[in-house]
Structure 1
Amino acid sequence: MHQNVYLPAQFLTEIEAILPSSLNMSDFIAACQRPLRKSIRVNTLKISVAEFLERAEKNGWALSPVPWCNEGFWIEADESVVPLGNTAEHMTGLFYIQEASSMMPVSALFQDESESYAAVLDMAAAPGSKTTQIAAKMGNEGVLVANEFSASRVKVLHANIERCGVRNAALSNFDGRVFGGWLPEQFEAVLIDAPCSGEGTVRKDADAMKNWSKDSVISIAETQKDLIESAFHALKPGGVMVYSTCTLSIEENQQVCHHLKTTFGDAVEFESLTHLFPGAEKAITEEGFLHIFPQVYDCEGFFVARIRKLSSVESPSVKKRLGKFPFTKATVKIQQEIADELEKTLHISLPNESSVWLRDNDVWLFPLALEPMLGEFRFSRMGIKIAETHKKGYRWQHQIATTLATGQEECAVNLTIEDAREWFMGRDVRPNITPGKGEVIVKFNDDVIGLGKWVGNRIKNGLPRELVRDKNLF
């Protein structure tokens, strides 16, 4: 029990004023004092849900389905020996440790299964739980622009994208308010999981409300109004936007959505989430939003709205100074040469929905759907780096294995648990097998974990520094 959770008196007064008549304050306070149930989301870019359930059973993990996410589960696992984050399944990207309620915005974005999106914007993406969830829903196709305002959090975002095998992402590091002017009407779908006062997060952080004040709520809401306007401008007519927060105040939730409706009138349509999952009606508002108090589904407090852009609106005008773009698109001949060499050395094919770009000695794979934006916006990282050129050809990179390999390639080595631990700690390994030559796909439990290179009887480690771990591994 988090009996010491801090709940300011004024905050409780505010909650009492907006709490639906079907709920009561004693249950609300009791829910805030209960620790969260741990939950995970299966990464279907790496493994099917059915296959993961078999793995979980072998590991002794008890899973209960999260009703609003087909890939989401509450989990009970003995973490006294190895925390979930240090298990082989987590380190190979088979699942993401994600709070159950935070899975809801992406489920709402993809509520209509008949719709597919070629270009999606995740406006506040770090640490990457929703970004990787979107990428899995897209099947790594199209382009996913993942923006994060905090430069320090971009590194974490990239590490999670890399771990989960995402290859269709383009990362940026800007205030989300720039998108409406710089990339107007570029996206079929936009997720804005807005920065907020965090009133719903007290179950995982007893001190989350220590700096709470009504004035700060009002101030944050003004920023959110700017962000939702920018997101709406970036959305194509006919497109869908989901606005979400992990807070409870109506100022940061309903009022922000109504501000959008007031600003753009008939171009804005609220789409009901009543049928998003069985039981959704328990948290639905009169507008069709989900306003989730923590006792309703035994999760974090959360808010989700789904909004349709019915018509074009005039976008803000901006003066662009991008500078010279440092990449050059590979000629058809060079792209075919790279594709042939990759097939020859690693038996891996380049995906059809990507194109090869060059910068100095680096070879990159960009999503084709990104190309219309390249001259309009500055990204900090695009697609995946697949190779470095050298005198004798190409030196393949880690993400070639983790995003393109199936694990069935001939030039693959399955490590023992002892060697796999060494690998994840950034060390070279010496498998007890006949040595090969050149690059080799490295696996553990038949899951691809990286790319190495034979040097004599050892495999030189190619794991990126940000993925190296140093303790308590599976």
Structure 2
Amino acid sequence: MELPVDFKNKYSKLLGNDATSFFASFDNPVEKGFRINPLKHVDQLVEHSTESPISYSKWGYYGTAHGKTIDHQSGLIYSQEPSAMLVGEVAHPKATDRVLDLCAAPGGKTTYLASFMDQEGLLVSNEINHGRAKVLAENVERFGIKNSVILNESPDRMEKPFKQFFDLIVVDAPCSGEGMFRKDPSAMDYWNVDYPKECANRQKKILNSALKMLKPGGRLVYSTCTFAPEEDEQIAAWMLSEHDQLKLETIKRDGDMDSGRPEWADGNPELTKTLRLFPNHFKGEGHFIASFKDQRTPELDENRKKKSSKKSTLDKEHDKLWTDFSSLFLEDIDLFPKDNLKVVGEHLYYLNANINFSKLKYIKPGLDLGIFKKNRFEPSLSLLMCLKKQDLKRAVTISSEQWRDYVHGEVITDINTDLKDNGWAAVCVDQIIVGPAKYVNGTLKNFYPKGLRLNF
């Protein structure tokens, strides 16, 4: 790979004798990986091997995730570069935490955080770019996350609505992307020797906003996919010098992981608690991670201890349509408590948190359960993706061959089912829910979203 001359000059000086192997690593194959989705509660993958586990990741494996498969389309797996998986492991939220993924697209960190939270707590995933925020929402939907909100905001506009709100904030910051050179050589086209400093200025603004949203006693995990000290150790040193309440946490590391380099910043020995992943030492594309702890005394949050006393906001018509649908479709009609349901437009959302969305731009203000139409309720793919087969009263099992026809948009005719009445049903391959359909006189009318349909 023909690396930029200024890049090679810079890292020759920084790395010394290690520079040769560092530059040579860019000619090695890209390391690929995927994670199993624990929210799905499915024991075995259909098309992917789990013979090469990643030692530091609870759910990670080396290998290529193939898109046009049952495993991928149903959210059983998520494709993620191995280095990036370590960010989620370091963050490791508690199930009941309020968590913010501030720069979340396309969704790798968000889905990793959700895996630990197991559908509890609150996970707010934000992406400033609208197009990327829609991709984030699609990945959250496929993964089956029930406790999420998808925002499309700038960090500074979030400061007031979420003042000292979050227990954990993850900032996987926009960066100069030097760790992307091997995976995406076009990343070199916009790199120049001053670009890391430009990125560092933007990162400081993002982090200042993030710290205003962090609760006393909370944690902030900062990461980049670049090797630039300006965006890595120097940002961590700036955080410590500008914000007295912060202290670096030691990150557990294996032998192929490097400590941060204090000499590349202000010499503060605390910076050795940060983590570097170099592609000539580590089986991955490269990353920097720092974990900060807010040392202020946590304040007692009375609102968390109180059970919500709010009543359902559904009007009688919406309430009846949802009740009629859920009583026929779900084994437990209280799976989505009515005091956590809200109609926006004609869409019904579930959110187990009190958030004022009046001054926030959002893509999804909760889990989209479906849409109200004239005299009926139509379930969404999001609803199906967050359920387990045992949650359902109405499910129809198809073969893996029929699945190809289903995700292509075809009507499925040759089925075996115990269903006697026409109506909505979940389409499954064995125990895997793959989407919605309407059972009509022995056939499945296809309601797999048109924008997601596949050609083989």
**Structure 2 residues not aligned, in runs of 5+:** 262-268, 299-311
The residue identity in structure 2 corresponding to 1:396 is P
Give me the whole-angstrom Cα distance separating, in 2, the residues matched to 1:106 and 1:453: 38
What residue in structure 2 maps to residue 316 of structure 1? none
Task: State the alpha-carbon separation in 1 of the partners of residues 175 and 314 from structure 2.
Answer: 43
Residue 341 of structure 2: aligned partner: 356
- Choose from 4, 11, 17 the match for 1:8: 4
Deviation at 1:441, TM superposition (A): 1.1
1:46 aligns with 2:40: yes
The two structures have a TM-score, normalised by structure 1, of: 0.83
**Change in 2 beyond 3 A, CA 1:312/1:214:** farther
Separation of aligned partners in 1, 2:124 and 2:98: 8
SS for the counterpart of 2:425 is strand
Query: Are the equivalent residues in 1 in contact too, given 2:259–2:276 (CA < 8 A)?
Result: yes
The alpha-carbon deviation at position 249 of structure 1 amounts to 0.6
Equivalent in 81, 87, 105 of residue 99 of structure 1: 81
Question: Residues 402 and 244 (structure 1 numbering): CA distance in 2 closer, same or farther, change over 3 Å?
Answer: same
Does residue 227 in structure 1 map to residue 206 in structure 2? yes
Query: In 1, Cα distance between the equivalents of 2:401 and 2:218?
Result: 50
Match of residue 342 from structure 1: 326
Corresponding residue for residue 443 of structure 2: 458
Tell me how far 1:400 sits from its aligned partner: 2.3
Q: In structure 2, give the amino acid aligned to 1:427.
A: E
Q: 1:30 is matched by which residue type in structure 2?
A: A
| Corresponding residue of 2:264 | none
With normalisation by structure 2, the TM-score equals 0.86
Aligned partner of 2:25 among 31, 54, 73: 31
Most deviating of 349-358 and 188-197: 349-358
Equivalent residues of 1:198, 1:246 under 8 A apart: yes
Listed as ranges, the matches of 1:254-403 within 5 Å are 254-265=233-244, 267-273=245-251, 275=252, 277-279=253-255, 282-285=258-261, 286=269, 287=271, 288-311=273-296, 329-330=313-314, 338-339=322-323, 341-351=325-335, 355-366=340-351, 368-369=352-353, 371-374=354-357, 377-390=360-373, 392-403=375-386
Paired amino acid for 2:246: V
Offset of residue 165 of structure 1: 0.6
Q: 2:230 aligns with which of 228, 251, 261?
A: 251
- 1:147 is matched with 126
In the TM superposition, structure 1's runs of 4+ consecutive aligned residues that sit over 6 Å from their partners are 331-334
The answer to whether the 8 Å contact 1:348/1:405 transfers is no
User: Equivalent residue for 1:194?
Assistant: 173
> Equivalent pairs: percent with the same residue?
27
Checking the alignment, whether the CA contact within 8 Å between 1:407 and 1:441 is kept in structure 2 is no
Give the 3 Å change call, closer, same or farther, for CA 397–182 of structure 1 in structure 2. closer
1:443 aligns with 2:428: yes
**Which residue of 39, 47, 70 corresponds with 1:88?**
70
SS of aligned partner of 1:12 = helix
Shift of 1:333: 11
**1:401-456 Cα deviation digits (max 9, x unpaired):** 22124356342111123321111112322133367411111101320011111233
Alignment partners' CA distance in 2, 1:60 and 1:262: 47
Conserved 8 A contact 2:25-2:279: yes
Question: For residues 62 and 44 of structure 1, do their structure 2 counterparts lie closer, same or farther at Cα, with a shift above 3 Å needed?
Answer: closer
Cα distance, 1:142–1:337 mapped onto 2, change above 3 Å:
farther
Counterpart position of 1:70: 58
**Residue in 2 aligned with 1:411?**
394
Q: How many residues align?
A: 431
Identify unmatched segments of 5+ residues in structure 1.
Answer: 78-82, 314-327
State the superposition RMSD in angstroms. Answer: 2.7
Task: Give, in whole Å, the separation in 1 of the partners of 2:158 and 2:127.
Answer: 12
